[in-house]
Structure 1
Amino acid sequence: MNRWSVRTRLSVIYGLVFMAVGVVLVVINYLLLMGVLPQPAAFVAAVPGYAIPDGVTTTARMQTVDTVADYRASTIQTMLLTSGIALLAAGAIAALMSWYIAGRVLRPVHTITATARRLGAESLNRRIYLDGPDDELKELANTFDGMLDRLASAFDSQTHFVANASHELRTPLAVQRTLVEVAMADPKASPELRRLGEHLLVTNERSERLIEGLLVLARSDRGLRGRVPVRLDQVAETVLLGSIGLADQYNVTIKKNLRPRTVAGDPVLLERLITNLVHNAIRYNVSDGSVSVEIADSPALRVVNTGPVVPVEALPGLFEPFRRLERTSTSGGSGLGLSIVRSVVKAHDGSIGVAARPSGGLDLRVDLPPAAYATITPNRTIPAST
């Protein structure tokens, strides 16, 4: 069902109201004219000096009355016809004026709507600053600007918190790792102490991955503060080179098909996106399995891996934080990998889809909008950080 805009509804309402008032005026004019114009017989009899001459029959008198009655009816008909034409013409003009006036009245609302659509975590500095009289619309705009001020302040506080948390959380873990490694390097350390140290190092490493994942998730959830052209194929190449050791550890073969593709976004977050997908595809695999990575136009990124069969009903939960399949819950991951991927894709105005392969494993596809730049020279394109 088609939805009429507020401007259209207001124009229709104004036009109907005008037509209703016009009809009432025509009816009033009709009744007044009926009251002003005398009845034909009474008018003929009341004409001064009028008398029936000798030899004039009643038939002639009736003809005179009929003539006056026809004139009276013609006058009323002419009044109704001209009033109707004038009402239709005035109604058309009123409809056009109603459309124009409704547009002028709703213009501040369109300004507020356009500002709201352009808003994002990276553009909270936009304001409406509506000019005009102190009416309800200006009060609405001022209220909206005040809400944006509070949101900007909240996002700034979150940014400072994440920056501080990144330092405060990483430093103790680094100190703990150093202390454990120093204790294990002591020649006098007993085998029990070494086993305990290895266990503490594994726990410490998992805590570091968890904290790093939470910080990246918080950063991507805030959106992008700026976009630069990024060669997605170069980012994938860097990630795959860095994943060779992990693939050898899990006895997994990596296949790649990387076509040149440029997107606009954050190179660090895009590198983390590909890293999480590739590492998940390697860890949640089978021995002698494979991982296929493809960069193309549509989808921009596709990662397919072999592995255990994944139930279809479990697919939606894979992108939720700390949601992992029971068979992979002991892989050592933090449970944030795909959550970070979804958040990064959303921050880049993209979409992600996942399908379970009948033979086992997953097929993940990421669509990203093309770069806003028509042409980008290679030396201005930013690859992944190394």
Structure 2
Amino acid sequence: MRLRTRLTAWYAGVFLIAGVALIALNYWLLAAWLPTDDWVAVADARRAMPMDTYPYGATLEAAQLPADTQVLSGELVKTNTLSGFIWQSAIALVVAAIIAVWLGWVVAGRVLEPLHSITTTAHRLEAERLDQRIELDGPPDELKELADTFDGMLDRLASSFDSQKRFVANASHELRTPLAVQRTLIEVALGDPGASDEIRRLGAHLLDTNERSEKLIDGLLLLARSDRGLASRELVWLDEIIDDEVESCASLAASKEVTFDVSTRQFLVEGDPVLLAQLIGNLLRNAVLYNKPGGTVSVRLQQELVVTNTGPTVPAEAVPGLFEPFRRLRDRTGTAGSGLGLSIVQSVARAHQGSAKARPNGGGGLVVQVNLPETGVRQPS
């Protein structure tokens, strides 16, 4: 139930409690005031005479009364009066309660309007668009204090993200340069004609380690970039990216004796083409690396992107952990992966207002489903 509805219900409930209490008090006062033992003369059977026409305690002869006069007991008059009071009060209370509900709904909307401004501003925020502020006008009440606190938090977040951007940019250069120098030195040493077999084996091992380190750094930087959100957006044909990445993975698939089964349709999204290429490339490379010889990788793009492989059996309880950085199944540790593939997939999907999830494939392997919002731009025929 929404807060506005709850507030309206509270307003109406308090009003009803107060109304019932007021009716009960009036009922008690009226019951105490009405006579019970005296006889009351009524001028007409259809209309009661005012109570002060004949004073209490007055003795009247029957001949003094009009011919159409009826004489009723005080108890009957009291019962009829209280019954009419209850019915009229109940009707008035229902009508007033309806009005109170309407007024409560209007007042609750006015009270919660600043909260809607805060929510709208929060929805517009992204890691690359922290320039939005609420700047709520009004008296210095609790809502004004909340809006000012939110604006202050955004100022601190903007400063923090700016620092992170600078760190990622510097780390990208500082971490890659030493690895590039190391790789060059190893390749020069291996190119020496006088290098012994032992040095060549050691150099090959160092080159492999260097390559793993470069991939790990690239993955971490890419993960940091996607976690920060999108700096810019453009229209991207997802099906074309899939075709390009399948072609890029063809040699790897051939070496692993894995075949691709691709079925796509035209699918237009708004986002970063580099990050989307990394998302699809990671999915395809994971599906090939963690497959079995002679296996297949199925790629389907309809309402969502679904990539399925035929690798080893994956326990259902282990699937959620595969999206965490550096988490791999025990039988996957011998691969060349860094454990960041599905983490990057999930991070990139979130940066594009999408989602990624996985489940075990029935015959072994994994099924990864990626939902990305398709744009409303008209697609070419």
With the length of structure 1 as denominator, give the TM-score of the two structures. Answer: 0.81
How do 1:138-177 and structure 2 match up within 5 A?
Answer: 138-177=144-183
Structure 2 equivalent of residue 304 of structure 1:
308
Structure 2 equivalent of residue 91 of structure 1:
97
Does the 8 A contact of 2:39 with 2:72 survive in 1?
A: no
Q: Provide closer, same or farther for how the CA distance between residues 307 and 95 of structure 1 changes in structure 2, counting only shifts above 3 A.
A: closer
Greater relative contact order (Cα < 8 A, sep 6+): 1
1:100 aligns with 2:106: yes
Shift of residue 30, structure 1, vs aligned partner:
5.2
Q: Provide closer, same or farther for how the CA distance between residues 58 and 264 of structure 1 changes in structure 2, counting only shifts above 3 A.
A: same
Shift of residue 171, structure 1, vs aligned partner:
0.7
Shift of residue 250, structure 1, vs aligned partner:
2.6
Structure 2 equivalent of residue 230 of structure 1:
236
Q: Provide closer, same or farther for how the CA distance between residues 170 and 75 of structure 1 changes in structure 2, counting only shifts above 3 A.
A: same
Does the 8 A contact of 1:252 with 1:291 survive in 2?
A: yes
Q: Provide closer, same or farther for how the CA distance between residues 80 and 165 of structure 1 changes in structure 2, counting only shifts above 3 A.
A: same
Q: Which of 209, 212, 215 is equivalent to 2:218?
A: 212
Shift of residue 285, structure 1, vs aligned partner:
2.5
Equivalent pairs: percent with the same residue? Answer: 52
1:114 aligns with 2:136: no
The one-letter code sitting in structure 1 at the alignment partner of 2:7 is L
Gaps of 5+ in 1: 379-386
Structure 2 equivalent of residue 285 of structure 1:
291
Structure 1 equivalent of residue 47 of structure 2:
none
Q: Which of 356, 359, 365 is equivalent to 1:361?
A: 365
The one-letter code sitting in structure 2 at the alignment partner of 1:291 is V
Shift of residue 138, structure 1, vs aligned partner:
1.0
Shift of residue 76, structure 1, vs aligned partner:
6.7
Q: Which of 255, 263, 279 is equivalent to 2:269?
A: 263
Structure 2 equivalent of residue 370 of structure 1:
374
Does the 8 A contact of 1:41 with 1:65 survive in 2?
A: no
Shift of residue 33, structure 1, vs aligned partner:
5.7
Does the 8 A contact of 2:311 with 2:364 survive in 1?
A: yes
Structure 2 equivalent of residue 346 of structure 1:
350
Shift of residue 177, structure 1, vs aligned partner:
0.8
The one-letter code sitting in structure 2 at the alignment partner of 1:375 is R
The one-letter code sitting in structure 2 at the alignment partner of 1:310 is V
Structure 2 equivalent of residue 21 of structure 1:
18
Q: Provide closer, same or farther for how the CA distance between residues 198 and 78 of structure 1 changes in structure 2, counting only shifts above 3 A.
A: closer
Gaps of 5+ in 2: 41-51
Structure 2 equivalent of residue 381 of structure 1:
none
SS in 1 for 2:312: coil
Supply the distance in 2 between the matched residues of 1:151 and 1:327 (Cα, whole angstroms). Answer: 41
Does the 8 A contact of 2:35 with 2:75 survive in 1?
A: no
Structure 2 equivalent of residue 321 of structure 1:
325
Supply the distance in 2 between the matched residues of 1:274 and 1:114 (Cα, whole angstroms). Answer: 32
Q: Provide closer, same or farther for how the CA distance between residues 334 and 131 of structure 1 changes in structure 2, counting only shifts above 3 A.
A: same
The one-letter code sitting in structure 1 at the alignment partner of 2:334 is T
With the length of structure 2 as denominator, give the TM-score of the two structures. Answer: 0.82
Does the 8 A contact of 2:35 with 2:74 survive in 1?
A: no
Q: Provide closer, same or farther for how the CA distance between residues 227 and 34 of structure 1 changes in structure 2, counting only shifts above 3 A.
A: same
Does the 8 A contact of 1:213 with 1:336 survive in 2?
A: yes
